[in-house]
């Protein structure tokens, strides 16, 4: 075992800065199966909702034809529970033969034919979180297998492993992915594994070897949980700001917009905050059956432009008062801002805002052209002393884009 790590170290040293795939210049966008479809493997009695090639093909079709692809959503990602329970006789990973009868190469070709990319899930440990064969001891072989199949993104989980090993194992997998010559976006749960085992994370190497990284608990279709994640990002704001940028982004987990457990207002609050974090926008919903207002939110060009802003900055949490938070994010052109008020209160008629623009970040005397993003309403020109008057409802957000005037 020790010898393995020594050899790996030598290889990593030789390859220098390993993650050199040119991907994720802006936060990746797409769809991921986990929150909505979980580990449903019962295709006999639940054929339309189980993890299968049919489900993934249907999602790809909807992404391509319903406007998501044109808006920038690109990766169709399968989470856990796609695997057969054993490796094949050559120790290669194989998908469950009943649920993926035509294999992963077929599925990748199908997704590519729709102009999209295919993401897959594996685990650094001996098993995936769902109990399927993990990649430990097979990192190189698995990277090669994914590349041969035509996979474009790997979500690499951390169950059934010792998190002390993450700082060796994830760089090793990053190197093996690079060596395949296929650009495969590397989505890591490296810091999340460390968090679970009460270890601290060093985001320098994480950013060096991963394109996106989970560092908090799983999101659920529930606003309390979303608030918990926003709280965690608020608490660690100064640290996280140093590591977000083109090529590498924090991943607060899937977007539950179009889900069941949150109101429309809560969904737009999640969407706003994820855009402020420059987070990957990986929706986990049923694109075959999605409320129109959720769809419009997912396609909202103002929110998407804040998320996809080329600076890739993490917003600053400016203050929190009585459950109301103010977040400000620099965007292009230089001097412009996105501003969000995020209301965590679940009682009352909301918070009334009456504030000079300069007090919430718009301090430049050239002024700003301000747009409210959910309605797309042009609020006109603001100077630092212009008053912004609005109301932020409970468990909701208010979001504006402020473009600097020249």
Binding footprint of ligand GLA on the chain (CB under 6 A): 34, 79-80, 121, 128-130, 157, 189, 218
SS3 assignment, position 305: helix
Q: Give the active site residue among 96, 123, 157, 307.
A: 157
What distance in Å separates the CA atoms of residue 320 and residue 237, rounded to the nearest whole number? Answer: 13
46 is catalytic: no
What distance in Å separates the CA atoms of residue 45 and residue 42, rounded to the nearest whole number? Answer: 6
From the CB of 218, what's the least distance to ligand GLA, in Å?
Answer: 5
Query: Would you say 157 or 307 has its CB closer to ligand GLA?
Result: 157
What distance in Å separates the CA atoms of residue 73 and residue 31, rounded to the nearest whole number? Answer: 7
218 is catalytic: yes
The alpha carbons of the chain give a radius of gyration, in whole angstroms, of 22
Output 374-383 pairs: Cβ under 8 A, ≥24 positions apart.
Answer: 374/268, 374/297, 374/300, 374/399, 376/300, 376/301, 376/302, 381/405, 382/357, 383/357
What distance in Å separates the CA atoms of residue 295 and residue 289, rounded to the nearest whole number? Answer: 10
From the CB of 328, what's the least distance to ligand GLA, in Å?
Answer: 29
Q: What is the DSSP letter of 140?
A: H
What does the buried/exposed string (b/e) look like for 317-333 if buried means 16 or more CB atoms within 10 Å of the residue's CB? beeeeebbbbbbbbbee
From the CB of 377, what's the least distance to ligand GLA, in Å?
Answer: 36
Q: Give the active site residue among 66, 218, 221, 359.
A: 218
From the CB of 198, what's the least distance to ligand GLA, in Å?
Answer: 17
Q: Which amino acids are annotated catalytic? A: 157, 218
């Amino acid at each position: 075992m020790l010898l393995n790590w020594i050899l790996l170290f030598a290889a990593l040293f030789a390859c220098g800065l390993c993650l050199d795939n040119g991907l994720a210049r802006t936060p990746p966008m797409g769809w991921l199966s986990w929150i909505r479809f979980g580990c449903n493997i019962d295709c006999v009695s639940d054929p339309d909702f189980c993890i299968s090639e049919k489900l993934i093909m249907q999602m790809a079709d909807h992404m391509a034809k319903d406007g998501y692809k044109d808006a920038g959503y690109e990766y169709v990602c399968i989470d856990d529970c796609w695997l057969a329970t054993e490796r094949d006789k050559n120790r290669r990973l194989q998908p469950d033969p009943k649920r993926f009868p035509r294999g992963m190469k077929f599925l990748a070709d199908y997704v590519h034919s729709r102009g999209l990319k295919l993401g897959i899930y594996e685990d650094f440990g001996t098993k995936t979180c769902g109990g399927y064969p993990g990649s430990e001891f097979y990192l190189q072989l698995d990277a090669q297998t994914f590349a041969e199949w035509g996979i474009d993104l790997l979500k690499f989980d951390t169950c059934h492993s010792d998190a002390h090993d993450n700082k060796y194992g994830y760089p090793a997998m990053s190197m093996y992915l690079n060596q395949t010559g296929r650009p495969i976006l590397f989505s890591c749960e490296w810091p999340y594994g460390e968090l679970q085992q009460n270890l601290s994370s060093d985001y320098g190497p994480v950013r060096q070897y991963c394109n996106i990284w989970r560092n908090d608990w799983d999101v659920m279709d529930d606003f309390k949980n979303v608030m918990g994640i926003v709280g965690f990002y608020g608490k660690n704001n100064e640290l996280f700001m140093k590591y977000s940028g083109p090529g590498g982004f924090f991943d607060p987990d899937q977007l539950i917009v179009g889900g069941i457990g949150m109101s429309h207002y809560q969904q737009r609050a999640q969407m706003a905050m994820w855009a402020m974090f420059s987070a990957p926008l990986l929706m986990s919903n049923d694109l075959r059956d999605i409320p129109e207002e959720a769809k419009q939110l997912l396609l909202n060009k103002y929110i998407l432009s804040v998320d996809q802003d080329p600076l890739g900055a993490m917003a600053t949490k400016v203050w929190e008062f009585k459950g109301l938070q103010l977040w400000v994010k620099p965007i292009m052109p230089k001097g412009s801002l996105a501003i969000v008020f995020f209301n965590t209160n679940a009682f009352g008629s909301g918070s009334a805002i009456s504030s000079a623009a300069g007090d919430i970040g718009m301090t430049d005397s050239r002024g700003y052209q301000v747009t409210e993003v959910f309605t797309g309403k042009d609020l006109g020109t603001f100077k630092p002393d212009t008053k912004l008057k609005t109301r932020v409802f409970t468990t909701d957000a208010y979001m504006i884009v402020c473009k600097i005037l020249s």
